[in-house]
Amino acid sequence: MNLTKNSDIELLLKYYENNQFKNALPLADNIVKSKINNYKIYDICGEIFYKFKLYNKASYVFVKSININPKSFFAYNNLGVSEYFLGNFKKSLKIFENAKKIDDKNSTLYFNIARSYGDLGIYEKSIDNYCTSLLLDKNNKNSIKNLIKALTFFKPKKKYKNKIIEINEQLNSIKIPFSFNKLISDKDVNSFFKESFNLTKNILSIDFDYSQIFRLNNKLLDCSKYHVAFDSFNIIPKFCFSCFKVQIDVYEIFDLIKLHFLFDNLDLFNNIKKCMIEKRKETKGNYKGFIYCSSPDEAEIIKNKVSELINQNLSIKFNAYIKRGCSEFGIKFPNYKITNPQDKNFFQYKEEWEKKENITNDFYPKNNSKELVIKETIPGNSLNDILIILNWINYAKENNDFSYKRLY
């Protein structure tokens, strides 16, 4: 190895140790093109590629590391994770099995296995592995969160000695107090939450920082990718031009919860629905419900029907209207907010944006995988929903909305 390569490695290590990964990236790219016999350097280069979502390069480098050191748990595990994010879930499981032969007591490994099984739609094995992960490390935050999320769309057939699963089953048995035949009463809401909160009081230390409750069909929302394209290139992705929403603003936390009860029972149309608190400082309103639509005409029909149901069954103060895509897009491009296609200023996709959008798409192959299975959310009460509602209550307290007291 010549002096230049030695100096490159020294500089790479310096950048890596100081978390200067952008500076380290071009060095890693050059180093892996040369023939070195140091698996630790390959591991570092692979980790850097992974941080920048360069999963193909990361996989290539971790294979090189394994060829030098076949007993490397680190390389096998990270190779499996890279293949997972490439959407190769079956391949990732085979790699994780090799990692397990080296270390079968690693909580993170079982989390990775569970996640791969989950995206393949093999849910019982996914739950099995989340439970194993938590037996090895009861504080594994990723396994805790993903298990809670998994239970929103799958009911385990087996019996598990796991507190999260046990509490979720008990919460499932508490019927949401909603009927299309009568007006929802505060007394019924109070009884529901008294029972639900009693079940969850012993696990409130769980770090569960979500703020949106979804009721999904089997369509994938890929909003994180779309926002990366927007933030990186100042473009609105093509998909977002056909994204219209019925937005329902309410003004108290108590009313947001009632709206969630309606959405849980609303199966008149097969659209994604969510209730949420608004954390974006630049966006007005605190409590919102959304129903995702693919056209203004569809949104208009749903808006009218849902408004009618809210008046009949919830009797709350609300404002329902149609909006297009995400608020951030309309702030940057004001005409994007126009929802009437007949308006002369109705904003259309710019074809020159496609190349930039494709650059972003290359970094998110997992959600386009042919192996990916998406399952609908199970209606009814769940640990996921109660923990999120508790987050809503804390938000209400911070914003001096005292309607939360009516829940107790």
Q: Give residue-wise pLDDT tens across range 58-117.
A: 999 999 999 999 999 999 999 999 999 999 999 999 999 999 999 999 999 999 999 999
Residue 283 has pLDDT above 90, yes or no: no
pLDDT class of 294 with cuts at 50, 70, 90: very high
Q: Please report the domains of the chain, with CATH numbers, ordered by start residue.
A: 3-171 (1.25.40.10), 212-407 (no CATH)
| The pLDDT of residue 360 | 93
Tokens read off for 184: 């929802």
Interior/surface letters 42-78, b for 16+ CB within 10 angstroms, e for the rest = bbbbbbbbbeebbbebbbbbbbbbbebeeebbbbbbb
Residue 397 main-chain phi, psi, to 5 deg: -60, -45
* DSSP per-residue letters across 325-372: S-HHHHHHSGGGG---TTSTT-----GGGHHHHHHHHTT--GGG-TT-
DSSP H or E stretch at residue 296: helix 296-313
Are 379 and 273 a contacting pair, CB within 8 Å?
no
Mean pLDDT value across the chain: 94
pTM, rounded to two decimals: 0.94
pLDDT digits (tens, 9 = 90+) for 374-392: 989 999 999 999 999 999 9
Higher pLDDT, 35 or 11: 11
Q: What is the mean pLDDT of residues 186-202?
A: 92
Residue 162 has pLDDT above 70, yes or no: yes
| The pLDDT of residue 217 | 76
